Structure 1
Amino acid sequence: MASNLALDDDLIKEAQRIGGVKTKKGVITEALIEYIQRRKQIEIISQFGTVDYDEDYDYKKYRNINENSC
């Protein structure tokens, strides 16, 4: 998909220098990947404390059952 974007050349040059990326496309692609990863992390973090768990669950008991069934 072709796009025509007005980008700050100083920001692009700094990102290329810091990231060791040679092309503008490479910088934008890497920035988008990092942006998406960060947003996914924020989404996951927002789920902390929202999942109910059973305090009596014995994970060791079930771990042994799963290991023996392989």
Structure 2
Amino acid sequence: MTINLQIDEALVQQALAVSHQQTEQTERDVVEQALREYVQRRQQMKVLDLFGKIDYDENYNYKQQRHQ
């Protein structure tokens, strides 16, 4: 997909500088990596929201399950 965006050039250059990639990255590579990290972070936040909301059986014995 082709999208034309105006992105702060200094921000892109800073992202290139901190990317620590072995190969030469393009601006496109940096933007794609930023989007991947953004999506991953949002998915992690959804999982964190579940803590304390899932009921479990208090009599569950994980040690017994391991031996089966």
TM-score (norm 2): 0.86
Question: 1:33 aligned to 2:17?
Answer: no
Letter of the 2:17 counterpart:
R
Aligned position for 2:2: 2
- Where do 5+ consecutive residues of structure 2 fail to align? none
- Where do 5+ consecutive residues of structure 1 fail to align? 66-70
In the TM superposition, residue 57 of structure 1 has moved relative to its aligned partner by 1.1
Structure of higher CA gyration radius? 1
Give, in whole Å, the separation in 2 of the partners of 1:51 and 1:8: 42
Q: How many residues align?
A: 65
Tell me how large the CA RMSD over aligned residues is.
1.2
Q: Considering fraction of residues, name the structure with more helix.
A: 1
SS of alignment partner, residue 50 of structure 2:
coil
Runs (4+) of structure 1 exceeding 3 A deviation are none
Aligned position for 1:63: 66
Give, in whole Å, the separation in 1 of the partners of 2:41 and 2:9: 24
